């Protein structure tokens, strides 16, 4: 969302231009990578080129970790061309190392309607069977509650280790939190490769719930939310609190638009998050 800017310039990179960049890297012997992360992709041609990039990178380093946030839509609506769903389902999911869909995207990828925790866990199993050993459904809205469900299948064919993190709602909307959650999951999973639940705890706690703000309600006045008298006030880390304070200090009403999170100013909180929301493992 670009509501804070009156205009912008630049161009949307197409698949051919992306591939030319890859060829340039290869020509200069700069194509050795350990991780690849993708987010919003708006065309089938670009997504197909990304698949070529994955194949190329793995020809150089077979151990490349590919983390895919299959950004397709939310709250029952697609905001990419419908044909992308099929490409994600049939081509991208099988080659991904980790998937981080939201509830709606997980439904699109599995064909399963998610209305319960059991459905969320089953969706993870379906995705494991298709390819990725790590799946994190970053936000599921069930009976008014928000939760993250993660699943790690450490060996193909074996049962997966699954967990959930219950996250309270926050009455605000921050731009870019989904991208940041996926990036944090990649980073923390690299540090704790066998502990996806710990990586998820650290990622969620860094943002203090911002990964699911697309569902946030606006029933609580901001002066109460950001006061220390409100139950969550004392638990908020500086990343979101600093963002809101910056907007309030300029006289901006945080409820009138989305807020751009203060990443640079919050580096210490990103590096060393205080875990507030613990993963609960399923039996």
Helix or strand holding residue 203 (H, E): helix 196-207
User: SS3 of 115, please?
Assistant: coil
Encoded tokens for 241: 């609190």
Dihedral sign from CA coordinates of 229, 233, 238, 243: negative
C-beta atoms surrounding 16 within 10 Å: 10
DSSP symbol at 234? G
> Catalytic one among 119, 143, 179, 253?
179
Annotated catalytic residue 179: yes
Positions marked active-site: 179
């Amino acid at each position: 969302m670009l509501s804070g800017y009156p205009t912008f310039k630049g161009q949307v990179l197409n698949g051919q231009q992306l591939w030319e960049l890859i060829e340039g890297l290869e020509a200069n012997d700069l194509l050795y990578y350990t991780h690849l992360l993708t987010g919003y992709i708006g065309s089938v041609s670009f997504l197909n080129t990304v698949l070529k990039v994955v194949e190329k990178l793995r020809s150089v380093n077979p151990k490349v970790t590919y983390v895919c946030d299959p950004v397709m839509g939310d709250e029952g609506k697609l905001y990419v061309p419908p044909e992308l769903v099929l490409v994600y389902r049939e081509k991208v999911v099988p080659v991904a190392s980790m998937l981080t869909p939201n509830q709606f995207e997980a439904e699109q990828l599995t064909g399963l309607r998610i209305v319960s925790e059991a459905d969320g866990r089953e969706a993870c199993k379906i995705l494991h069977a298709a390819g990725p050993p790590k799946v994190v459904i970053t936000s599921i809205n069930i009976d008014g509650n928000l939760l993250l469900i993660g699943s790690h299948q450490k060996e193909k064919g074996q049962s997966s280790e699954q967990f959930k993190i219950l996250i309270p709602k926050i009455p605000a909307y921050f731009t870019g939190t989904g991208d940041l959650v996926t990036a944090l999951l990649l980073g923390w999973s690299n540090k704790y490769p066998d502990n996806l639940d710990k990586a998820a705890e650290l990622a969620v706690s860094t943002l203090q719930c911002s990964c699911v703000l697309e569902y946030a309600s606006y029933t609580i006045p901001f002066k109460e939310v950001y006061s220390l008298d409100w139950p969550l006030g004392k638990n908020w880390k500086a990343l979101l609190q600093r963002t809101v304070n910056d907007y309030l200090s300029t006289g901006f009403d945080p409820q009138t638009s989305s807020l751009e999170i203060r990443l640079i100013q919050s580096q210490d909180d990103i590096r060393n998050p205080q875990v507030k929301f613990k993963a609960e493992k399923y039996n």
